[in-house]
Amino acid sequence: MIHFTNTSPSRSKVYLVGAGPGDPGLLTLKAQAVLKRADVVIYDYLANPIFLKYAENAELINAGKRYNQHTLSQDTINELLVEKAQEGKIVVRLKGGDPFLFGRGSEELSAVLKTNIPFEVVPGVSSATGVPVYAGIPLTHRDYSSNVVFLTGVEHPEKEHSMINWEAIAKISTIVVMMGLRGLPNITECLMEAGRAPQTPVVVIQWGTWTRQYSVQGTLQTIAEEVEKNQMEAPVLTIIGQVCQFYQQFNWFEKQPLFGQHILVTRTESGPSSLTELLIDAGAHVTSCPTISIEAPLSWEPFDQIIQNPEKIDWTVFTSSNAIEQCMERLRVLGKDTRIFGSCQIACVGAATATYLEQFSLIADVVPRHYQSEGLADVLKKYDWHGQHVWFPQAEKTRGVLQNKISEWGGIVHSTPVYRNVLPMIEMDPIVALLEEKEINWITFTSSSMVKNFFQLLPDKGKIALKQWAPSVACIGKVTADTVYEHGLSVDLIPRQQDIEGLVAALCGTDCSSLNINRYNKFT
């Protein structure tokens, strides 16, 4: 009898996953699902590190390779794939672009195949096709290009002879060269010698689909000089052919209102950031700096007591989305739900907070235009507050501006803490490095707490770099701007529509009437 053996544990599997060219939105749903299951992720230099957030419980191994700078050799990567899988783990090899297009994916699978370990390949958006789209260059066109060739700019160093037939390549309408930065002078020379016209349009794109994308255009005769003059660095993609004439017309990505702007966004540590998402949608390169960590209050007793008699509450006021989230979670823990709000009116500090409230099937009765407690106070002052019981589920140690106003108007205020703003445990060295290298164009602040915590977290060398470089500062409102001013910085922008959408619109310059361009002074 013949016995077949499988050397790999039953759970073992290797996934070769294409991460796409860089834009987080181009990661496939399947790739995201596989990352969530991973025990080990071996990732490349060109795979956007933001994707690693999906692999929450995985061991992360950097296998990045750049020109003459290999973190791990290819043989070591092959051995790691096998070794980790033989430990009974799900291993994800995360590669930039598509793993089977000049990605050496087949070499890695060959190593896995020898061990009988199960494997799967998840295709990705290749930089060869994705990057031209972000530069507005159609690779084919009925009038100009009926064929395309994809060409590597780096052949195997041990080859005796090149496998590239330049005479044949030169006849192709559109030529896409990957990894061809250092070989560009030779590539263009070979194409011209093979008969391609020196005036053929060429576009070279650096960091395509990333928010730091940068493009240079020229001709087959001039492009190498243009690339050197503009000090372009890898990774680049080169497109050669008449289709490059559409670059100026269709280049939508680099024409976004905040393209080229590097914005440091101070934010809470957990949960999605609508500000970050809107800024990225507008083309900005965003670096997040968590300055607030949300934790449970020291005691839930005041909250638990007030919801025993919800019918006595006339108004509930939510001053943040965090307050809503923590409030609803506590109700769930206590076996209660939103029916406790059935007999009261609800006010929210701004549109974003009101929108978040709608997720719980609750509609705010009052929402001010200005995203500050002062803005809500202006709206609420027209109501009769005498004898009204007003409940504030809120953060500990808040400013209490609105509570004091309502008390002055005759209302009975009940403030119950539902969360605490505490300093997160984060590494600030990367932020300091960006400030020292003068990489940051804007810093945004959406609350005074974020300002205070940012300066508390920032080490002295970071504060020195901040004042020397003095990036522009955008604040959501005057109160936040006052806090920035107290810390020795000026403020360049305060939107009149004081909410997240207004702040982004002001940064984009799409609502110029709402801008305060002049440097803000707290005494003006």
Q: What is the pLDDT of residues 186-245, one digit of tens each?
A: 999 999 999 999 999 999 999 999 988 999 999 999 999 999 999 999 999 999 999 999
* Distance separating alpha carbons of residues 86 and 90, to the nearest angstrom: 10
Regarding predicted confidence, which is higher, 487 or 9? Answer: 487
Please, how many CA atoms are within 13 Å of residue 168, restricted to the half-sphere of its CB? Answer: 6
**Homologous superfamily of the 13-125 domain (CATH):** Tetrapyrrole methylase, N-terminal domain (3.40.1010.10)
* Distance separating alpha carbons of residues 163 and 105, to the nearest angstrom: 19
CATH number at 296-422:
3.40.50.10090
Q: What is the mean pLDDT of the chain?
A: 89
Helix, coil or strand: residue 24: helix
Q: What is the pLDDT of residues 454-485, one digit of tens each?
A: 999 999 999 999 999 889 999 988 889 999 99
262-293+427-514 with 296-422: one CATH topology? yes
Is the pTM higher than 0.85? The answer reads no
Quick one: pLDDT band at residue 69, thresholds 50, 70, 90? low
Q: What is the pLDDT of residues 407-451, one digit of tens each?
A: 999 999 999 999 998 999 999 999 999 999 999 999 999 989 899
Regarding predicted confidence, which is higher, 350 or 133? Answer: 133
Q: What percent of the chain has pLDDT over 70?
A: 91
Quick one: pLDDT band at residue 160, thresholds 50, 70, 90? low
Q: What is the mean pLDDT of residues 284-305?
A: 93
Residue 250: enclosing H or E segment and its boundaries? helix 247-250
Regarding predicted confidence, which is higher, 219 or 152? Answer: 219
Quick one: pLDDT band at residue 65, thresholds 50, 70, 90? low
Q: What is the mean pLDDT of residues 247-261?
A: 94
In total, the chain counts a number of residues equal to 524
Q: What is the mean pLDDT of residues 350-367?
A: 90
pLDDT at 519: 38
User: If you classify domain 129-255 with CATH, what class do you get?
Assistant: alpha beta
The domain ranges of the chain are: 13-125, 129-255, 262-293+427-514, 296-422
Give, in order, the Cα–Cα distances in Å from 510 to each of 33, 38, 257, 507, 516: 37, 43, 8, 8, 13
Q: What is the mean pLDDT of residues 254-267?
A: 94
* Distance separating alpha carbons of residues 402 and 422, to the nearest angstrom: 22
Q: What is the pLDDT of residues 87-130, one digit of tens each?
A: 999 999 999 999 999 888 889 999 998 898 999 999 999 999 99
Q: What is the mean pLDDT of residues 497-516?
A: 73
Q: What is the mean pLDDT of residues 356-383?
A: 82
pLDDT at 165: 93
Residues 211 and 186 sit within 8 Å (Cβ to Cβ): no
From the candidate CATH numbers 3.10.20.90, 3.40.50.10090, 3.30.70.380, 2.40.30.20, the one assigned to the domain spanning 262-293+427-514: 3.40.50.10090
Q: Which residues are catalytic?
A: 44, 65, 179
Quick one: pLDDT band at residue 326, thresholds 50, 70, 90? very high
Regarding predicted confidence, which is higher, 417 or 269? Answer: 417
